[in-house]
Structure 1
Amino acid sequence: MTIHPKIAKILSTLPAPDGSPLNPQAMRAGEAAQVPALEDRLPLYSVEDATAVTSSAEVPVRIYTPVEADAYGLLVYFHGGAFFLGSLDTHDHVARALAKETGHKVISVGYRLAPEASFPAGLDDCYGVVRWAAARGHSLGWDGMNLAIAGDSSGGNFVAAVAARAHDDEFPAITHQVLFYPSLDLDFDVDRYASLRENAEGYGLETAGLLPFNSFYLENGADPADPLVSPIKREDLAGLPAALVITAEHDPLRDEGELYGRRLKEDGVDATVSRYAGANHGFVQNFSWIPEFYRAFEETGEFLNARAAR
Structure 2
Amino acid sequence: MSKAVELIPPRLRAHVLGAGLHAAFALPRPLRRLIAGAPRRIDGQELALDAQLLLKMQALTGSTQLTNGDAAGSRALMAESTAIVDRAPLPGVAVGERTIPTPDGELAARLYRPQSLTEHSPLLVFFHGGGWVIGDLDSHDDLCRYFAKAAGVRVLSVGYRLAPEDPFPAAFDDAMAAFRYAVERAEELGTQPDRIAVGGDSAGGNLAAAVSYHATRAGGPKPAFQLLMYPALDATVRRRSRDLFSSGLLLSDSDITWFLDQYAAPGTDRTDLRLSVLLADDLSGLPPAHVVTAGFDPLRDDGEEYARRLAEAGVPVVARRFEDLIHGFGNVRQAGTRFNEALSEIAGTLRAGLALGGGA
- What TM-score, normalized to structure 1? 0.91
Task: Give the equivalent residue in structure 1 for 2:123.
Answer: 74
Change (3 A) 1:54 1:220: farther
Task: Measure, in 1, the Cα distance between the counterparts of 2:267 and 2:332.
Answer: 30
Residue 164 of structure 1 pairs with residue 213 of structure 2: yes
**Greater CA drift, 278-287 or 256-265:** 278-287
1:44 maps to which of 66, 77, 92: 92
Task: Give the equivalent residue in structure 2 for 1:86.
Answer: 135
Residues 215-260 of structure 1 deviation map (CA, whole Å, 9 limit, x = unaligned): 1002187532112111111111001100000000001110110000
Unpaired stretches in structure 1, ≥5 consecutive residues: none
Unpaired stretches in structure 2, ≥5 consecutive residues: 1-44
RMSD across aligned positions (CA): 2.3
Task: Give the equivalent residue in structure 2 for 1:178.
Answer: 227
Q: Are the equivalent residues in 2 in contact too, given 1:78–1:109 (CA < 8 A)?
A: yes
- What TM-score, normalized to structure 2? 0.79
Task: Give the equivalent residue in structure 2 for 1:127.
Answer: 176
* Cα deviation, residue 3, structure 1: 1.3
Q: Which amino acid aligns with 1:33?
A: E
Q: Are the equivalent residues in 2 in contact too, given 1:126–1:158 (CA < 8 A)?
A: yes
Q: Are the equivalent residues in 2 in contact too, given 1:188–1:210 (CA < 8 A)?
A: no
Q: Which amino acid aligns with 1:197?
A: D
Task: Give the equivalent residue in structure 2 for 1:147.
Answer: 196
Q: Which amino acid aligns with 1:124?
A: D
Task: Measure, in 2, the Cα distance between the counterparts of 1:163 and 1:157.
Answer: 10
**Greater CA drift, 53-62 or 90-99:** 53-62
Q: Are the equivalent residues in 2 in contact too, given 1:222–1:229 (CA < 8 A)?
A: no
Q: Are the equivalent residues in 1 in contact too, given 2:234–2:276 (CA < 8 A)?
A: yes
**Greater CA drift, 118-127 or 104-113:** 118-127
Task: Give the equivalent residue in structure 1 for 2:41.
Answer: none
Task: Give the equivalent residue in structure 2 for 1:105.
Answer: 154
Q: Are the equivalent residues in 2 in contact too, given 1:44–1:64 (CA < 8 A)?
A: no
* Cα deviation, residue 54, structure 1: 2.6
**Greater CA drift, 56-65 or 248-257:** 56-65
Task: Give the equivalent residue in structure 2 for 1:262.
Answer: 308
* Cα deviation, residue 188, structure 1: 4.9
Task: Measure, in 2, the Cα distance between the counterparts of 1:40 and 1:131.
Answer: 33
**Greater CA drift, 51-60 or 32-41:** 32-41
Residues 96-140 of structure 1 deviation map (CA, whole Å, 9 limit, x = unaligned): 111111111100000000000022111111111111011111111
Q: How many residues align?
A: 306
**Greater CA drift, 113-122 or 213-222:** 213-222
SS in 2 for 1:82: coil
Percentage of pairs with the same residue: 36
Task: Measure, in 2, the Cα distance between the counterparts of 1:32 and 1:279.
Answer: 22
